[in-house]
Amino acid sequence: MTTADLDALREHYDTTDTTAELESAELDTSTVSEPMVGITIRLPASTLDAGRAIARKQGVKVTALLRRWIEQNVAEGTDEDQVVPVAELKRLIARTAHDRRAG
Protein backbone atom coordinates (compact mmCIF):
# COMPACT_ATOMS: atom_id res chain seq x y z
CA MET A 1 0.00 0.00 0.00
CA THR A 2 1.45 3.34 -1.00
CA THR A 3 1.49 6.57 0.96
CA ALA A 4 -1.11 7.94 -1.47
CA ASP A 5 -3.38 4.95 -0.73
CA LEU A 6 -3.03 5.53 3.00
CA ASP A 7 -3.76 9.23 2.55
CA ALA A 8 -6.90 8.38 0.54
CA LEU A 9 -8.10 5.96 3.22
CA ARG A 10 -7.41 8.48 5.95
CA GLU A 11 -9.34 11.15 4.02
CA HIS A 12 -12.25 8.78 3.43
CA TYR A 13 -12.64 7.77 7.07
CA ASP A 14 -12.02 11.30 8.34
CA THR A 15 -14.92 12.59 6.24
CA THR A 16 -17.34 9.63 6.05
CA ASP A 17 -19.98 8.69 8.62
CA THR A 18 -19.69 4.94 9.26
CA THR A 19 -22.30 4.82 12.02
CA ALA A 20 -24.72 2.64 10.01
CA GLU A 21 -22.03 0.07 9.24
CA LEU A 22 -20.93 -0.06 12.87
CA GLU A 23 -24.50 -0.42 14.16
CA SER A 24 -25.16 -3.37 11.82
CA ALA A 25 -21.86 -5.08 12.61
CA GLU A 26 -21.93 -8.41 14.42
CA LEU A 27 -19.42 -9.45 17.04
CA ASP A 28 -17.51 -12.60 16.13
CA THR A 29 -17.42 -14.61 19.36
CA SER A 30 -16.06 -17.78 17.81
CA THR A 31 -12.93 -19.21 19.33
CA VAL A 32 -10.28 -21.54 18.03
CA SER A 33 -9.37 -24.75 19.79
CA GLU A 34 -5.65 -24.05 19.58
CA PRO A 35 -4.52 -20.45 19.14
CA MET A 36 -1.47 -19.63 17.03
CA VAL A 37 1.57 -18.09 18.65
CA GLY A 38 4.38 -16.19 17.00
CA ILE A 39 8.05 -17.07 17.27
CA THR A 40 11.25 -15.72 15.80
CA ILE A 41 13.73 -18.06 14.17
CA ARG A 42 17.11 -17.39 12.61
CA LEU A 43 17.79 -18.96 9.23
CA PRO A 44 20.61 -18.52 6.77
CA ALA A 45 19.53 -16.02 4.10
CA SER A 46 19.97 -18.64 1.39
CA THR A 47 17.63 -21.02 3.20
CA LEU A 48 14.95 -18.37 3.59
CA ASP A 49 15.35 -17.32 -0.05
CA ALA A 50 14.94 -20.94 -1.17
CA GLY A 51 11.85 -21.28 1.04
CA ARG A 52 10.40 -18.08 -0.44
CA ALA A 53 10.96 -19.38 -3.97
CA ILE A 54 9.19 -22.66 -3.14
CA ALA A 55 6.33 -20.80 -1.46
CA ARG A 56 5.97 -18.48 -4.45
CA LYS A 57 5.75 -21.49 -6.82
CA GLN A 58 3.07 -23.03 -4.59
CA GLY A 59 1.18 -19.74 -4.28
CA VAL A 60 1.45 -19.58 -0.48
CA LYS A 61 3.20 -17.34 2.01
CA VAL A 62 6.58 -18.54 3.18
CA THR A 63 5.33 -18.58 6.78
CA ALA A 64 2.48 -20.93 5.84
CA LEU A 65 4.93 -23.19 4.00
CA LEU A 66 7.35 -23.33 6.95
CA ARG A 67 4.47 -24.00 9.36
CA ARG A 68 3.27 -26.88 7.16
CA TRP A 69 6.77 -28.38 7.04
CA ILE A 70 7.13 -28.16 10.81
CA GLU A 71 3.67 -29.65 11.40
CA GLN A 72 4.43 -32.51 8.99
CA ASN A 73 7.67 -33.34 10.75
CA VAL A 74 6.07 -33.17 14.18
CA ALA A 75 3.22 -35.40 12.99
CA GLU A 76 5.67 -37.93 11.61
CA GLY A 77 7.46 -38.07 14.97
CA THR A 78 10.90 -38.08 13.45
CA ASP A 79 13.47 -40.36 15.01
CA GLU A 80 16.71 -38.66 16.11
CA ASP A 81 18.73 -41.15 14.02
CA GLN A 82 16.83 -40.12 10.88
CA VAL A 83 17.43 -36.37 11.26
CA VAL A 84 20.19 -34.90 9.08
CA PRO A 85 21.37 -31.36 9.88
CA VAL A 86 20.82 -28.85 7.09
CA ALA A 87 24.48 -27.82 7.18
CA GLU A 88 25.48 -31.43 6.48
CA LEU A 89 23.12 -31.58 3.50
CA LYS A 90 24.53 -28.31 2.15
CA ARG A 91 28.08 -29.67 2.39
CA LEU A 92 27.03 -32.82 0.52
CA ILE A 93 25.37 -30.78 -2.24
CA ALA A 94 28.38 -28.48 -2.59
CA ARG A 95 30.80 -31.42 -2.68
CA THR A 96 28.69 -33.23 -5.30
CA ALA A 97 28.43 -30.10 -7.45
CA HIS A 98 32.22 -29.59 -7.19
CA ASP A 99 32.91 -33.23 -8.12
CA ARG A 100 30.64 -32.96 -11.18
CA ARG A 101 32.39 -29.80 -12.37
CA ALA A 102 35.81 -31.39 -11.84
CA GLY A 103 34.96 -34.74 -13.40
Which sequence spans correspond to the domains of the chain?
43-78
Cα(58)–Cα(65) distance, integer angstroms: 9
Q: Using H for helix, E for strand and C for coil, what is the string for 39-100?
A: CCCCCCHHHHHHHHHHHHHHCCCHHHHHHHHHHHHHHHCCCHHHCCCHHHHHHHHHHHHHHH
Per-residue pLDDT of the chain (103 residues; tens, 9 = 90+): 899 999 999 999 999 999 999 999 998 888 878 888 999 999 999 999 999 999 999 999 999 999 988 888 777 776 666 666 777 777 778 888 877 778 6
pTM over 0.75: no
